[in-house]
Chains A and B, each alone.
Chain A
Amino acid sequence: MYIILVYDIEMDEGGAKASRRVFKTCKKYLTHIQKSVFEGDITPSLLQKLRIELDKFIRKDRDSVLVFKSREERWLQKEFWGKEDDKTSNFF
C-alpha cells in the first residue's frame, strides 16, 4: 500500500527527543518529503513494524502520528503547488 505519514510532536520538555527519534525511525521506511511528512510504498507487515518502533517514542497523551493509506500510488493524485521536487525518485 502507499501511505502518507504525518506527525505532530508537542515541543515541551522531552519533545525534542521524541521528535528526533520519530524522525529517524520514519526515515528507515519512508521518504522524507517535508518537515514532518513522509510518504512511500510499504507492506502491511512493515507498517506494523514501523508502528511498534514508533510506539516506544511517542507520548500517547501529547504526540500524534497520522497515517493516510491508499491502495497504490496511482490511486493518489499528487499536485505540486509552487516548487516541484521529486524526492521520492529512486535516482540520484
Chain B
Amino acid sequence: MAESFYLFSNGELQRKDNVLRITASDGRYKDIKVEMTQDIYLFGEVDLNTKCLNYAGQLSIPIHIFNYYGSYTGSFYPKEKNVSGKLLIEQVNHYTDKYKRLEIAKAFIEAASYNILRNLRYYSERGRDLQACMTEIKGLRKVIPRTEDINELMGIEGCIRQAYYNSWKDIINQEVDFEKRVKRPPDNMINALISFVNSLIYATCLTEIYKTQLHPTVSYLHSAGERRFSLCLDISEIFKPLIGDRLIFSMLNKNMLTEKDFESQSNFCYLKDNGRKRLLQKYDEDLKRTIRHKVLNKNVSYRYLIRLECYKLIKHLMSDKKYEGFTIWW
C-alpha cells in the first residue's frame, strides 16, 4: 500500500507545504506524498538539508542513497520507534552462543540454497541443461546440517554460489561472458547487474527491518561487523534468488536490457541511467506482486514476505517458534 519513491533527477529535496518536494535543476518538481511513502531511493545528485531530514525522520521514512555508479552508499535511518530491549538482549544472546547462532545461520543457507535450486529447476524444465549443476548443489546442501562452525558454513555457501553462477551462461539467452563473480568494481554486464540488484534488495530489507523491532546490526550468518547493517545481508540472502536473480534472468532473456545499456571500460562496467530506470521499474513491480500465503491464507506481496521473515526470526529469538527460512512453495 505504502509506496517507494525512486529519484533519479539531480536537484534539491526539501520540505515544502508539509510534503517532501524534489525540484530538478530545470525547475520541474514532484511532490512526494509523505503519508503514503515508506522509503525513498536517491540515485541523482541531490541537495538536502537537515530540515528535510528532520521531517523524514519525524515521519519515519528511511532514505537510501546510491552513488553515481549505482552502488549503495548508505541510508538515512530514522530514530528507532519500535524498540524492544527484551528482543535486543535475545538477539545478542543468540549471536554470542555459538550453537544458537549456527542454528539460525544454517536456516538461512538452507532456505537460500533451496531457492537457488528452485530457480535452476525452473529453467531446466524449460529445456536448459542444468542437471550437473543441480546435482552438485544438492550434494553440497547435504553437508549443511553437518557443519560445525560459521566459517565452514560460509565456505559451503561460497561453493553453492560458484556452482550456481557457473550455470548462468546456460540460463541467459544473450551472449554473455560471465566467468566469475567480481565486485568492487564489477567487470562485466552480469556482475554489474548482480551488484546493483543485490544492493537494492539490501536497502529494501533495511526498510522492512526498520518496521520491526529487530536491530539491524546484529546478524547471524555474516559476522556482526561494524559500520554496516549486517542483518540485512542475512535476510537478503534468502530473497536474492527469488527476487534478484529472477529479475536479472527475465530482463536479459526478454532483451529488456542489452549490452547498450551498460557503460564499460577495461576494468569496470556500470548500468547507464536509462537501463537503471527500467530495471527499477521492474523491481518495484516485482515487490508489489502478490501471492497467496499458505499459512496466513491471504494475499501477500513479495515485499511483505521480507517482513514476515523478520517476524519469524523474532519468534525464534523469543523462543516462540523455531525459525525456518522462507522457501518458494509455488
Contact = CB atoms under 8 A, between A and B. Distances in A.
Contacts of B19: 27-28
Interface in A1-43: 23-24, 27-32, 40-43
B8 A29 contact: no
A52 interface: no
A29 B35 CA distance: 5
Nearest to B4: A90
B9 to A, nearest CB: 6
Interface residues of A, number: 19
Nearest to A24: B17
B36 A91 contact: no
Contact of B30 (A29, A41, A92): A92
A91 B22 contact: no
A30 B89 CA distance: 40
Contacts of B31: 27, 31-32
A50 to B, nearest CB: 8
Chain A contact residues: helix, strand, loop or mixed: mixed
Contacts of B33: 27-31, 40
Interface in B248-262: none
Given A27-B31, A28-B19, A91-B277, A43 B1 contact: yes
A66 interface: no
Contacts of A24: 17-18
B1 A92 contact: no
Interface in B1-30: 1, 3-9, 17-19, 22, 24, 30
B34 A28 contact: yes
B254 to A, nearest CB: 20
Given A28-B33, A28-B34, A29-B35, A41 B3 contact: yes
Given A41-B1, A41-B3, A90-B5, A28 B277 contact: no
22 contacts: A24-B17, A27-B17, A27-B18, A28-B18, A28-B34, A28-B35, A30-B33, A30-B36, A32-B31, A40-B36, A42-B1, A42-B36, A50-B35, A87-B30, A90-B3, A90-B4, A90-B5, A90-B6, A90-B284, A91-B7, A91-B277, A92-B5
Interface of A: 23-24, 27-32, 40-43, 46, 49-50, 87, 90-92
Given A29-B33, A91-B281, 5 more contacts: A24-B18, A29-B36, A30-B33, A92-B22, A92-B24
